[in-house]
Structure 1
Amino acid sequence: MSKLELVVSLAYSISFVCALLLMAALFWYFRRRFRVRVVSLFMLAAFFFLGAYTVKMAVAFWIRLSCGPGPDAVVSTLQSEAWAVAQTGTTLGLVILTVLMYSKRQDLFVVLSEIRQGGTPDADTHPGSE
């Protein structure tokens, strides 16, 4: 293994671990936010982007580790398709984040309505309902 391959593998490893740690932190953040029923749209888009990026780093790491003499055509096809899906998700997440940032809508929140057991939201607890 050359020095360049070692550096790239180390960078992929660090990126993957950091992405996993961020995903775990965001999971706990969203767990609290869903309990109070108000979620930041920007943070939700960031979570989607980070999830796609984490998959992308996992696929990159998988490709790096499986490089050996004569890679199997099926594995190579699976890796290529997984990379395409991860790249598409990452790009979509970046587009959403960019649109939210440049439209100055990074402070949008989604208020999740509370559904009572009767199947309808309580009109007295929601602003704007009469």
Structure 2
Amino acid sequence: MGGIDILLLIAYGISFACALLLIAALFLYFRTRFRARVVSLFMLAAFAFLGAYTVKMAVAFWIRFSNVTGAGADSVYAALKSNAWAVAQTCTTLGLLILTVLMYTRRQDLFMIFPAVREREDTDDANTGSGKA
């Protein structure tokens, strides 16, 4: 195991841990925003990008670790790593593309507004058929 391998494993591990901490913080942010029924599309796209990036860092760590230790050298693991990397890279690229389009069209302030939830009485009337038509 060379110095570059150790450096990359440490960098991938730190990136993965930071991304997980950011996802946890954003999850709490989105929980309050969904309760308020208003969500920023830019923040939602950033959350999706961060999720894809986190998967990408996990796959990168897995690939680097298995290359250093020699574990998983057969063709099935190689194909699985390649497919996982392709999916992670594609999702990361899509997230970056969406964020770039939102930035350059100056649409960072778009919000998605969810309709109010009906009261239980309205849905109960509709389900039992006791409402008048």
Tell me whether 1:29 sits opposite 2:29 in the alignment: yes
Within 2, Cα distance between the matches of 1:70 and 1:45? 34
Which ranges of 4 or more aligned residues in structure 1 deviate by more than 2 Å? Answer: none
Out of 79, 95, 107, the residue aligned to residue 77 of structure 1 is 79
- Percent sequence identity over aligned pairs: 67
Within 1, Cα distance between the matches of 2:93 and 2:71? 32
Gaps of 5+ in 1: 120-130
Residue 107 of structure 2 is matched in structure 1 by 105
Within 2, Cα distance between the matches of 1:78 and 1:3? 27
Higher alpha-carbon deviation: 65-74 or 19-28: 65-74
Q: 2:111 is aligned with what amino acid?
A: F
Q: Is the contact between residue 72 and residue 78 of structure 2 (CA under 8 Å) also seen in structure 1?
A: no
Gaps of 5+ in 2: 124-133
Specify which structure has the higher proportion of helix: 2
For the residue of structure 2 that corresponds to 1:39, the secondary structure is strand
CA RMSD, Structure 1 to Structure 2 (Å): 1.3
TM-score by length of 2: 0.85
Report the count of equivalent residues: 119
Q: CA deviation at 1:115?
A: 3.1
Q: How does 1:104-123 map to 2 (within 5 A)?
A: 104-116=106-118, 117=120, 118=122
Q: Which is higher, the Rg of structure 1 or of structure 2?
A: 2
Q: How does 1:1-130 map to 2 (within 5 A)?
A: 1-67=1-67, 68=70, 71-116=73-118, 117=120, 118=122
Within 1, Cα distance between the matches of 2:12 and 2:47? 19
